[in-house]
Copies of this chain bind each other. A is one copy, B any other.
């Protein structure tokens, strides 16, 4: 297939369609509105349903209902809207339903701003909702990767019956790059015998539920979830390493920030500093093994985020004290520049590195 030039937000929509998703429930919010707007045009053309919900709370509960019937369904929002969805997300995770939730992050807290940010990392990876659950969190860094991860996301969601979050920022959502959607797929190969579509002759009714009033039963349910999470952790981590083989300073960053970090590393290499970039693609499960592999020759790790420091905790947890971990962040919609990251790399290289 040939490439087309599209905005990241629209690519999320088209990639979902290419993955067999025909249902979208959402509520407008900057900077992701191109996505619902795109789908409000496209879905009716192909017999799908675009529905603007009365709120993010309603939207996530519509997704819950739709997912319960076994179809591929997606919703999308940005930071404040995602906060409103936390109860619903916890229900979806607790009831083990597959779906994709997109968060195109903006500056916070509160109303904040509408410029790019990565300050919802904790919320995405640690369960902003109540209870012990995890979302599979995918962080694309290019428009092409958006297309790939949306497809992969639906498959992961259905394989594990777990909600998947696509986590990006406004810059990624509004950026245009060429994209190749590859072949169309659907979720038909996954077991949907659990879906609530009417009994239709089935003997036992299907029930989608997360209530277990007896603690013994709820504990069994929680343990089953735990088993699933452990399996995902062991099987589904993804990461990219850029020039890390001999790197003394490894920059850990995800999404757009990781691409800027690559430019910074290019600058560093030009000055003879052995630097590299570690880019987790799955934020949960965090690619712990991959990070450790990417830092075998490292003297220090610099975590760069558009936040006050969130992923840096996963970097520290993964390294468990093995290497010094420092942090550089910009916030509020400000984007770290390659030069500023380069300066940090230089500083760390002088502090921890060998001779140039």
Contacts and interface: CB of A to CB of B under 8 A. Distances in A.
Interface of A: 57, 79-80, 82-84, 86-87, 90-95, 105, 107-115, 117, 119-120, 122-123, 126-133, 209-223, 225-226, 229, 307-308, 310, 313, 316-317, 319-322, 330-334
B83 A128 contact: yes
A334 B222 CA distance: 11
13 contacts: A82-B130, A83-B87, A83-B130, A84-B87, A95-B110, A107-B215, A107-B218, A110-B209, A112-B210, A113-B211, A126-B126, A219-B331, A225-B308
A317 to B, nearest CB: 6
A111 B50 CA distance: 28
Q: Which of A119, A123, A214, A215 has the most CB of B within 10 A?
A: A215
B308 A215 contact: no
A314 to B, nearest CB: 9
B219 A79 contact: no
A321 B325 CA distance: 13
A113 B120 CA distance: 28
B131 A219 contact: no
B113 A130 contact: no
Given A114-B213, A122-B126, A308 B132 contact: yes
Nearest to A335: B215
A57 to B, nearest CB: 7
A137 to B, nearest CB: 14
A215 B110 contact: no
A174 to B, nearest CB: 15
A226 to B, nearest CB: 5
Nearest to A129: B83
Q: How many chain copies does the complex carry?
A: 2
A112, A131, A332 — which one has the most chain B CB atoms within 10 A of its CB? A131
A212 B113 contact: yes
A131 B216 CA distance: 36
A215 to B, nearest CB: 3
A128 B86 contact: yes
A332 B94 contact: no
Contacts of A119: 130-132
Rank and list the top 7 A-B pairs by shortest CB-CB distance, nearest first: A108-B131, A321-B321, A110-B210, A94-B110, A215-B333, A218-B332, A109-B131
Contacts of A317: 313, 316-317
Given A84-B87, A86-B83, A212 B112 contact: yes
Contact of A110 (B79, B93, B229, B333): B93
B331 A223 contact: yes
A37 to B, nearest CB: 21
Given A80-B130, A84-B86, A321-B321, 12 more contacts: A82-B130, A83-B90, A91-B109, A94-B108, A108-B131, A112-B131, A112-B210, A123-B129, A132-B331, A225-B308, A317-B317, A321-B322
